[in-house]
Amino acid sequence: MRTGRKRTRKLVSRLATTAAFAMGGVVAIAGATHLLTVAVERRAALQTRLVAIARMGAAVAEETQTGINHDAAREAFARWSWAAMADPAVVGTARLATDGAVQAVHPEDIAVASLIAEASDRGKETLDTTIGRVQLVSAVTVSGRRVVLLTKPIGRSLPMGLPNWTFFAAVLLAAVAAWTWLRVALERSVARPLRKICSAKFGDGRRRTTSLPIDRDDELGDLARRMHDAADDHDQARDQMGQMKRTMDARVAAQIRQVQGMLKRAERRAWIDPLTRLGNRRLLDDRLEEVYTTQKRRGEDLSAIMFDIDNFKGLNDTLGHAAGDEVLRFVGELLRGSLRSSDIGLRLGGDEFVTILLGAGIDEAAETAERLTKLFRQRASLFKVAKPVSISCGVASIRQPGADCGEALLALADKALYTAKSQGKGQVAIHYAPPPTPARAT
pLDDT at 272 over 60: yes
pLDDT at 398 over 90: yes
pLDDT at 352 over 60: yes
Model pLDDT, residue 108: 67
346 contacts 284 by C-beta, under 8 angstroms: yes
More confident of the two residues 414 and 210: 414
pLDDT in tens, 182-196: 666 555 665 666 666
Model pLDDT, residue 392: 92
Per-residue confidence band for 68, with pLDDT thresholds at 50, 70 and 90: low
Which amino acid, 274? P
pLDDT in tens, 363-378: 999 999 999 999 998 8
pLDDT at 28 over 60: yes
Per-residue confidence band for 417, with pLDDT thresholds at 50, 70 and 90: very high
Model pLDDT, residue 37: 79
* Long-range Cβ contacts of 184-189 (<8 Å, 24+ apart): 186/23, 186/27, 189/218, 189/220
CA distances from 337 to 54, 284, 408 (A): 58, 20, 28
pTM above 0.85, yes or no: no
328 contacts 280 by C-beta, under 8 angstroms: no
Model pLDDT, residue 353: 94
Model pLDDT, residue 256: 45
Mean pLDDT of the chain: 75
175 contacts 182 by C-beta, under 8 angstroms: yes
More confident of the two residues 323 and 31: 323
Model pLDDT, residue 263: 40
Q: Across residues 417-441, what is the average pLDDT?
A: 76
pLDDT at 434 over 70: no
Question: Which string of DSSP letters, residue by residue, matches 328-363?
Answer: HHHHHHHHHHHS-TT-EEEEEETTEEEEEEET--HH
More confident of the two residues 241 and 10: 241
Q: Across residues 342-349, what is the average pLDDT?
A: 89
Taking alpha carbons only, the member of 159, 156, 154, 151 closest to residue 229 is: 159
Distance from chain centroid for Cα 89: 27
Strands (E), 255-379: 302-310, 344-349, 352-358
Give the whole-angstrom CA distance, residue 414 versus residue 432: 13
What is the chain's alpha carbon radius of gyration, rounded to the nearest angstrom?
A: 43
pLDDT in tens, 77-113: 778 777 877 788 787 888 777 776 777 777 766 656 5
